[in-house]
Structure 1
Amino acid sequence: MSLAQRSSPIAAIATAPGRGAVGIVRVSSPQPLEALIESLTGAALKPRHAHYGPFLAADGSPIDHGLALHFPAPHSYTGEHVLELQAHGGPVVLQLLLARCLDLLPGARPAEPGEFTQRAFLNGKLDLAQAEAVADLIDASTESAARSAARALDGALSREVTQLGDALVQLRLFVEATLDFPEEEDVEFVQQADVQGQLAALLQRLEQVLQRTRQGALLREGLKVVLAGQPNVGKSALLNALAGAELAIVTPIAGTTRDTLGSHIQIDGVPLHISDTAGLRDTEDLVEKIGVQRSWAAIAEADVVLFLHDLTRLDDPDYQREDAAIRARLAAHDGQLERHLLHAYNKADAAAPELAPAGALAFSAQTGAGLQALRQTLLQRVGWQAVPEGLFIARERHVRALAATAAHLREALAQVSLPAPPLDLVAEELRLAHEQLGSITGRMSADELLGEIFGRFCIGK
């Protein structure tokens, strides 16, 4: 976004498309809005007080009656002069109000997606992590996600990052100042200040924040879980049991499921995107063959592959042969799946659960026995723990930045631990670590990153 675009007034309908009891039109402008307010409402508005009255068209006739709220800069959401009009929520009424605002404001234009929040960030009302939390709060699909997004919006993640950054700044200042001393004194200086101990402690704190951030990212993104296995092991029955609805057709006929079916559920507040796939087997049926290909494609993108086995067929030689072939392909698939591969044994209602290997999950999709243990194991496999007090929602971007920060700190710690520490290399690693931390809150962010983040917001926010 250019400087001219950032300095122009903007306006947008801030409520979702469609009809409703109330709709909101929002205006933000670097310049005062008194002239617009006078022309639109016929009155001067007391700042931050709701005023009821008509919204006037160019000929003086009322477009609608509703509430107008004026927030002079800098005490507004965007940090600019803001006007909010609360009218009846009809699409035509709101479009008329929006057009009227744009006509009355010289140089005004419709707001781009997320531009109000972007201006709040650019004007220092929110940092980048808080701005992202606005969208996460709107998009939250579970109660836990909504509460965690509200904490992030309140600055929980930002405070953690700021505290880490402050400690890192102190280390950077000391190391870079030490570079000005004679070389023979470097080691003594570093030892006296216990730079190694400070780095180790900082890295430990960072790892704790990284763990919580991974939890927050999982709460936001959810899990992609793929149900895989041979035909008739109960994948569709399990999907129905987990979803609590008859989403997939269940029959004794092999190959009933020929395409990937999906459902969204939640376990302990964590969203799960579960896909039921076609049974994995060699087949000459063209349609089923396409379904099997899609199954492998879904497996490649999954966070967890839940590989189902049939307890009633474990002693069948043909079943065993196919099972071994699928296991081998799963284990070798992209070289990455083994830690996300979870074996579970279905039909415990028709066969003894003891037939499953020691320590394996046995359950019945038909009766529901063992399903709760299966749910908890799914979460544990990806590192989820009971929601800690104060968990904040996070994004994969934050996780990557913290992981990169930790990598730079580990390298700095390794350099400091040498008999003759190369402080110039230590200083560089600390600088790179500081840059990664700064990217989370937006202290060091490229315009391309800002465009990508705010472009995903809804218009009017």
Structure 2
Amino acid sequence: MQINITDTIVAPATTIATQAIALIRISGDDALKIFNRISPKNVPHKKGIYVRKIYDQQNLVDEVVVNAYFAPESFTGENVVEIACHGGVLNTNRIIKLILNNGARMALKGEFSQRSFLNNKINLIQAEGINDLIHASNDLALKIGVDNMSGSHNKAILSLKNDVMDIISRIQVLIDYPEYDDIEGSSNQELIEALEKVNHKVTNLLIRSQMASKSIEGIKTAIVGKTNVGKSSLLNALINEDKAIVTDIHGTTRDVVEGQINLNGVTINLIDTAGIRETKDVVELIGIQKSKDYINQAEFVFFVVNAKQMDDLENVQIFKLLENKNHILIINKADELSDVEQKELLIKYPEAVFTSALNDDIGGLINKIKTKYDSDQLLQSNELILININQINLIEQIKTKLETALNNINNYLPVDIINVDLYDVWGLLGELTGEQMEDEILDNIFRKYCLGK
């Protein structure tokens, strides 16, 4: 949908629901004029907070608190009026309808942030940071959202752009003035060293971002094992709810049951699978095959066993499937084992953890997960981290172009060929901050945002 950025727009900045206070935001040249049409006492053209009554013709609608901002000193860079009215679906919608009837149009999703970007109040990394903050699912996502929204890491991208432009400029001088082959910093070796420094920065940014993205998006984790070893009980204990059916009947779980947990900065997407055993039940067989498929597809596996069945054929088969898989061996129903039995098992399986899922005794497993996926380093990092899939894709493209340039210069190809890739790197860095991007693409980016933001 093509939008007119000169329109004055309105949207609820809070969810429309039965609540004490709702916030309605108006942005655009006519924001103040439109509000003053529905209030007998005008808000002056002066930044401040005002108490006003809203009327629909002669009928009192509400008494509200108005926060007025004026271009360019506002989030969007435009005139903005924020109305704190009494909450409630009917009341909030009535006020929005009054504003629409007096000259505003309904904002599209993300249009306030888009206007802020278009008016140079924020760059695209900051805009994505706002969206990341709103949709944060764990502490790491929250931190990255706040950092990127604030613009605290803008210098990192500007520094990269400056480094790339410096190398481009050195090469361009060599192309335009080949007789000056002794320009400082422009020897083949010096150019290689400069490119390697940029590539090192990009590589570290990519590693940090990929690690963070995976921790936030969630690690696909399958809970597998024989029937009746406590897989469903373990899922319920981890997510702290009775999501999976728990019985002593073999084969109860015939399809996958999913759940999610957040541990510090790491999200674990759990899949409880059907118990693996010999059976002639056609439906159960389909579930068992799915369980084996999930072992192959999962990034992380919780292999749940009963200590007295460790050497059963099914467990031996599962051990074989897990040979090259990141997994944790979980010996469940530990309350049925003596201390001596547990010590003997640890000698044979030193990486195993003991749980009693029915008793919510899963502390050892939680600690084990944390050691395998420790996001503390990322949580404490003061460096730029990007978690949006499009941003990471751009960094990957930048790295590919840099490595091509390095390969070409190491093979003594003409410097004008090297500059072709470096100009592409420059352009991709511009896309990262939104400096070089088509309007249609920008529209699509901001449409994924919340209404009213």
For Structure 1 versus Structure 2, the TM-score category normalised by the shorter chain is 0.7 to 0.9
- Residues in 2 aligned to 1:80 and 1:193: alpha-carbon distance in whole angstroms: 50
Q: 2:157 aligns with which of 161, 173, 179?
A: 161
Taking the aligned partners of 2:423 and 2:222, their CA distance within structure 1 comes to 41
- Go from structure 1 to structure 2 and tell me whether the alpha carbon gap of 1:244 and 1:286 turns closer, same or farther (over 3 Å shift): same
1:202 corresponds to? 198
Q: Equivalent residues in 2 for 1:313-352 (5 A)?
A: 313-316=309-312, 318-320=313-315, 322-323=317-318, 327-328=320-321, 338=324, 341-347=326-332, 349=334, 350=337, 351-352=341-342
Instruction: Label 1:272 to 1:453 Cα distance change in 2 as closer, same or farther (>3 A).
Output: farther
CA positional deviation for 1:246: 4.0
| TM-superposition CA deviations, 1:337-373 (whole Å, max 9, x none) | x4x5324242383354654666533332444363144
> Do the aligned partners of 1:175 and 1:423 also contact (CA within 8 Å) in 2?
yes
For the 8 Å contact 2:13–2:23, the answer to whether it is kept is yes
Deviation at 1:16, TM superposition (A): 0.6
TM-score, normalised via structure 2 length: 0.87
Which residue in the other structure is 1:241 paired with? 237
Is the 1:241–1:365 Cα contact (8 Å) retained in structure 2?
no
Among residues 259, 284, 290, which one is paired with 1:288 in the alignment?
Answer: 284
SS of corresponding position for 1:190 = coil
In structure 1, what residue type is equivalent to 2:119? N
Structure 1 pair 89–251 and aligned structure 2 pair: CA distance change class (3 A):
same
Q: Contact conserved, 2:212 with 2:378, CA < 8 A, in 1?
A: no
Offset at residue 377 of structure 1 (A): 4.1
State how far apart, in whole Å, the 2-side matches of 1:143 and 1:320 are: 37
> Tell me, what secondary structure is at the counterpart of 2:445?
helix
Segments of structure 1 that go 5 or more residues without pairing to the other structure are: 332-337
Q: Is the 8 A contact 1:136 1:220 kept in 2?
A: no
Query: Per the alignment, in what secondary structure is the counterpart of residue 55 of structure 1?
Result: strand
Which is further off, 122-131 or 246-255?
246-255
Q: Is the 8 A contact 1:311 1:345 kept in 2?
A: no
Question: Which of 184-193 and 201-210 deviates more?
Answer: 184-193
Instruction: Select the residue among 422, 425, 432 that pairs with 1:440.
Output: 432
Rounded Cα–Cα distance in structure 2 between residues aligned with 1:280 and 1:429: 53
Give the equivalent residue in structure 2 for 1:191. 187
Match status 1:45 vs 2:38: no
> 1:259 matched to which residue of 2?
255
User: Structure 1, residues 165-186: CA drift from partner, whole Å, max 9, x if none?
Assistant: 2211111222233222338949
The answer (yes or no) to whether the contact 2:138–2:216 under 8 Å persists in 1 is no
- Name whichever of 172-181 and 367-376 sits farther off: 367-376
Structure 2 CA distance for aligned equivalents of residues 279 and 112 of structure 1: 48
Do the aligned residues in 1 keep the contact of 2:170 with 2:185 (CA within 8 Å)?
no
Cα deviation digits, residues 106-161 of structure 1 (max 9, x gap) = xx321111111111112211111111111221122334432331111011343322
Aligned to 2:172: 176
Paired residues of 2:174 and 2:180 also in contact (CA < 8 A): no
Deviations 1:373-397 (A, max 9, x none): 42124415xx874622436562232
Equivalent residue, structure 1, for 2:25? 26
Q: 1:270 aligns with which of 266, 275, 278?
A: 266
SS at match of 2:451: coil
Aligned residue among 206, 223, 227 for 1:227? 223
Equivalents in 2 of 1:263, 1:345: separation in Å? 18
Equivalent residue, structure 2, for 1:89: 87
How far, CA to CA, are the matches of 2:238 and 2:170 in structure 1? Answer: 56
Opposite residue 14 of structure 1, the aligned amino acid is A
CA contact (8 A) 1:116 1:460 kept: yes
How far residue 212 of structure 1 moved from its aligned partner, in angstroms, is: 2.6
Please tell me the residue identity of whatever aligns with 1:222.
G
Q: Distance in 1 between matches of 2:386 and 2:184?
A: 43
- Say whether residues 1:430 and 2:430 are aligned partners: no
How far is the alpha carbon of 1:297 from its aligned partner? Answer: 6.2
Aligned to 1:394: 387
Residue pairs, 1:359-370, within 5 angstroms: 360-366=351-357, 367-368=361-362, 370=364
The aligned counterpart of 2:109 is 113
**Residue 75 of structure 2 corresponds to residue 77 of structure 1:** yes
1:123 to 2:129 alignment:
no
Distance between the aligned counterparts of 1:272 and 1:304, measured in 2? 9
Q: Does 1:376 align with 2:370?
A: yes
Moved more, 144-153 or 239-248: 239-248
Shift of 1:187: 11
> Measured at CA, do residues 189 and 202 of structure 1 come closer, stay the same or move farther in structure 2, by a change above 3 Å?
closer
Whether contact under 8 Å (2:36, 2:43) holds in the other structure is yes
**Alpha-carbon distance in 2 for matches of 1:140, 1:233:** 34
Question: Residues 377, 235 of structure 1: CA spacing in aligned structure 2 closer, same or farther, 3 A cutoff?
Answer: farther
Post-superposition Cα deviations, 1:201-236, rounded to whole Å, max 9, x if no partner, equal 111222222233234324532333221233334322
The one-letter code of the counterpart of 2:368 is: L
Measured after TM superposition, the shift of residue 460 of structure 1 is: 1.1
Aligned length: 442
What secondary structure does 2:223 align onto? strand
Percent identical across equivalent pairs? Answer: 28
Q: What is the distance in 2 between the residues matched to 1:284 and 1:187?
A: 79
Letter in 1 for 2:51: Y
**In the alignment, what sits opposite 1:413?**
406
**Is 1:234–1:346's contact at 8 Å kept on the other side of the alignment?**
no
Distance (whole Å) between structure 2 residues aligned to residue 187 and residue 299 of structure 1 = 59
Retained in 2: the 8 A contact 1:70–1:84?
A: yes
TM-fit CA distance, 1:87 = 0.5
Q: Which amino acid aligns with 1:79?
A: G
Distance 1:152 1:189 in 2: 34
